[in-house]
Amino acid sequence: MADGRTLKKMFSLGTAWLEKAVPDINAINVFPVPDGDTGINMLLTMRSALEEVKQNPDSSASLVAKSMASGALMGARGNSGVILSQFCHGLAKGLEGKSSFDGRAFADALLEGSQAAYESLVNPVEGTILTVLRDAAKAADEHARTDSGTLLSVMEVATQAAKDSVARTPDLLPVLREAGVVDAGGQGLYVLLEGALYYVSGKSKETRYRKPELVAADMPLAPNLTQIATEVEVPYGYCTNFVLSAAKLDVAKIRNKFKRKGQSVIVTGNGSLVRVHIHTFKPGEILDDATHLGTLHHIEIKNMDDQYEEFIRLQREKMPKVDMAVVTVASGEGIFKVFSSLGSTIIVPGGQTMNPSVRQLLHAVESAPADEVIVLPNNKNIIATAHQVQSVTSKKVGVVPSRTIPQGIAALLAFNYDLTMEDNAQSMEEAIGTVRTVEVTRAVRGSQVNGLRIRRGQYIAILNDEDIIATDNDILVAVFEALIKADVAKAEMVTIYYGSETRATEAEGVGREIRTKYGLEVEVVFGGQAHYDYIISLE
């Protein structure tokens, strides 16, 4: 019989094994855009679960599972993280009251985990992590009914079933089949189970010098659609700054070197003095690498979780007590200013590649100077996380499912302090439907989506965060092709939010051309968002 200590070590090794696969899991993204963060969301969710377990010295399987579920919920990020947290919740329910467990009990817990994950979503989709979890639990249950259903054999069967299920996900989701990839969340779950299996089978040492082998689809990949690894995007961690000096420094090479090691990388300077800014979980490794390039000066490392709490505190102190507050998720200096000017009570840093956790959204909700709070996620991968906050706060929380920044702005413009929360939520959601959003970025890999063949590095335009509608090597060609498909001629007003790496003169040029071509009112605003050259609102 296994106890809570076994459960803890199973998922600790599973999480460590998952961490090794994060870059590759992030790369499995139907849209070839810089927001493939499934792997990091699952990893951070499990890290939060294990941090909670560390605080529990009990050896009871039931109590350890409860701690794991609690930590997973608070640390859940993105759709994959929320589903994983619900799996942990079901696992705890299945092990409730049990100080120890065998293969039969663990199979029962897997079934509970699968059911909880399905029930957490209003419209569960097959061909995703949900299907993989269900297939693994079903296989474990059937095997556990036999006399040989030990914990080891149940884990072996469940892991193999998960692997087979991942390979079949393209058969269930046409969009996966067209892109030539398997489901990233399902892949992450399989890797997590495989790592746990290594512990149960006594083969933990084998994971030290190996990496997980990801599952390939049960179909040939479309031409040129190889699955490539990307850097791990770090939503939070340590903000690391330093100055590097040497007789001869190549700024471009240094920038490329550190881009593979973190997020929000800024490298500026000349041939002898370079300033580096990077967000990373491992600042020690960054500094060690830098010492091989030159001499370090003015080193500064700040915990971004602390910075986040300070950022929320400063916003709270500036706000008077109100009957109803609005918490908004956004990124980019200019976007922050827009939401602040429109009356957003608290702005949570986050968005593409930076999905805030349940804990962080809860902190913002609790900090808001009101007992009723409306949350604007402004990203489809944050909506499920926002809904989880409703179950862990005593405040009345409504979630308006905005998927883009322009939708969030339209919703905030519809907010009225004289209305009830229910009426506000309804009018804000209606306002979302009046806006079309075109987002323009570069493809991070080759792909095929909606019949479009996309090459790495090409500009792509996405409509309403749902469909890629244009692609071209020339950004202006991609923008205007997308505007035509988005029925720009029917719009009354166009607002262009340009990104941190886009020049104002270029954005103004796009605005002038839209005015000339369509005779529309056009406003050009500095958004300062990362990754996306333009976010265009059609109203």
- Chain segment 26-54, per-residue pLDDT in tens: 878 766 665 557 888 899 999 999 999 99
Residue labelled with tokens 């792509």: 460
Average pLDDT over residues 182-195: 95
Q: How many CB atoms lie within 10 A of CB 394?
A: 7
Average pLDDT over residues 146-158: 90
User: 502: closest CA among 455, 418, 442, 444?
Assistant: 442
DSSP 23-85: HHHHH--SS-STT--HHHHHHHHHHHHHHHHHT-----HHHHHHHHHHHHHHH--HHHHHHHH
- pLDDT value for 312: 66
- pLDDT value for 306: 65
- CA pair distance 505, 231, nearest whole angstrom: 31
- pLDDT value for 32: 63
Average pLDDT over residues 511-539: 93
- What are 464's two structure tokens? 């309403």
pLDDT of 456 higher than 60? yes
- CA pair distance 270, 388, nearest whole angstrom: 48
Summary mean pLDDT of the chain: 88
- pLDDT value for 149: 79
- CA pair distance 509, 483, nearest whole angstrom: 15
- pLDDT value for 40: 85
| pLDDT classification of 475: cutoffs 50, 70, 90 | very high
pLDDT of 235 higher than 70? no
- Chain segment 196-224, per-residue pLDDT in tens: 999 999 999 999 989 999 987 654 433 33
